[in-house]
Amino acid sequence: MARITLRQLLDHAAERGYGVPAFNINNMEQGLAIMEAAAACDAPVIIQASRGARSYANDIMLAKMIDALEEMYPQIPLCLHLDHGNEEATCATAIRYGFTSVMMDGSLKADAKTAADYDDNVDITRRVADMAHWVGASVEGELGVLGSLEHGGGEQEDGHGVEGTVSHDQLLTDPDQAVDFVRATKVDALAIAMGTSHGAYKFTRKPDGEILAMRVVEEIHARLPNTHLVMHGSSSVPQPLQDMFNQYGGEMPQTWGVPVEEIVRGIKHGVRKVNIDTDCRLAMAAAFRKVATQSKSEFDPRKFLKPAMDALRELCRDRFEQFGTAGNAAKIKVVALPEMARRYRAGALDPQIGKMTQAA
Ligand SMILES: [Zn+2]
């Protein structure tokens, strides 16, 4: 059995200079395809479930499904992570169901659509980190509001995302504030805002530094060299998938995602977890459309789901190879939660803060 915490996995990734894609799941087919891809290239995995996924599949179903995947692939370290927890209870119940890591997104209020004050973000994230660390689980926090630097708005996905528009300042994580935040909350990983957003419609053109602020990643990494950074909304929305989706009757307006080479650049500057959901959805939905268009008499769901799983497996494998995750599963000796809890209590896992450029 190889249920790993996010902290241990990202510590390994930092030591060896690779990144780990975090794929969202809602159902068995996605779980199988991700694990098949991981096993094929010896990659450790992060499977994450949002509040939307938990209500779609039910906590019990999700938990048993992950147990099954773990049993089928004991050689693959598997981190089960809560995506965008909105309050303490969401995080606590996730841990109860076997999640080894939770995101407490205190950048938004509990309604998941209003930007929160900095102090409130610190307070709630600190409380969740204390609670999670008691049992050895990891915590990801978020500083800055995810949204487009082109129009100042966030994209609602699974009922999560800022509503209306927010200021340019809020859309870019402040590096000095990031140092203060990590010191105050003791998070294991930090999600930052730098122009990425959820959903398929991230950019209206191929992104440059104006709308995808990779310099923010570099500045934060320079001040927090030992903190694992997380890029949200980092699907690449590959053109071939958009074309296939539209070729078989879809109507997706032309859009641009985060180019893989920009993510690879981020991985060189402290990005260790890369959230990918849209690409997985698009890969499967394009495959559904192709079957529906080409085989109009087909009514066996498996005939739709199998090619969709093939497409997802291929996408996941590409990302494992591109981010350098491949080849690392066998090198990790998984540390169980009680031992992680002991290390937190001993202060061995406190974030090591680099120097701030300005006086605190
Ligand atoms: Zn996100």
Q: Is 83 a catalytic residue?
A: yes
The answer to whether residue 182 sits within a structural domain is yes
The one catalytic residue in 11, 42, 83, 169 is 83
Over residues 114-144, the pLDDT tens digits come to 999 999 999 999 999 999 999 999 999 999 9
Would the pLDDT of 1 be above 80? no
The answer to whether residue 152 sits within a structural domain is yes
161 CA distance to ligand 1 middle (Å):
8
Structure tokens at 20: 């780990």
The answer to whether residue 13 sits within a structural domain is yes
Amino acid at 264: V
The answer to whether residue 341 sits within a structural domain is no
pTM comes to 0.96
Nearest to 146 by CA among 106, 187, 88: 106
276 CA distance to ligand 1 middle (Å):
9
Would the pLDDT of 351 be above 90? no
232 CA distance to ligand 1 middle (Å):
5
Q: What are the angstrom distances between the C-alpha of 46 and each of 4, 74, 187, 343?
A: 9, 14, 17, 22
Would the pLDDT of 155 be above 90? no
Nearest to 53 by CA among 27, 26, 33: 26
275 CA distance to ligand 1 middle (Å):
7
Over residues 159-180, the pLDDT tens digits come to 778 888 888 888 999 999 999 9
25 CA distance to ligand 1 middle (Å):
13
The answer to whether residue 79 sits within a structural domain is yes
Mean of the pLDDT values across residues 86-114? Answer: 96
Query: How many independent structural domains does the chain possess?
Result: 1
pLDDT at 264: 98
Nearest to 212 by CA among 195, 224, 229: 195
Structure tokens at 208: 């440059």
The confidence band for 310, taking pLDDT boundaries of 50, 70 and 90, is very high
Would the pLDDT of 355 be above 50? no
The answer to whether residue 283 sits within a structural domain is yes
* Strand residues in the chain grouped as ranges (E): 20-24, 45-50, 78-85, 101-104, 138-143, 189-192, 228-231, 271-276
303 CA distance to ligand 1 middle (Å):
31
Mean of the pLDDT values across residues 279-307? Answer: 98
Domain carrying residue 151: 6-326
Radius of gyration of the chain from its Cα atoms, rounded to whole angstroms: 19
306 CA distance to ligand 1 middle (Å):
27
pLDDT at 196: 93
50 CA distance to ligand 1 middle (Å):
9
The answer to whether residue 239 sits within a structural domain is yes
The answer to whether residue 95 sits within a structural domain is yes
Which CATH number belongs to the domain containing residue 66 in this structure?
3.20.20.70
269 CA distance to ligand 1 middle (Å):
20
293 CA distance to ligand 1 middle (Å):
32
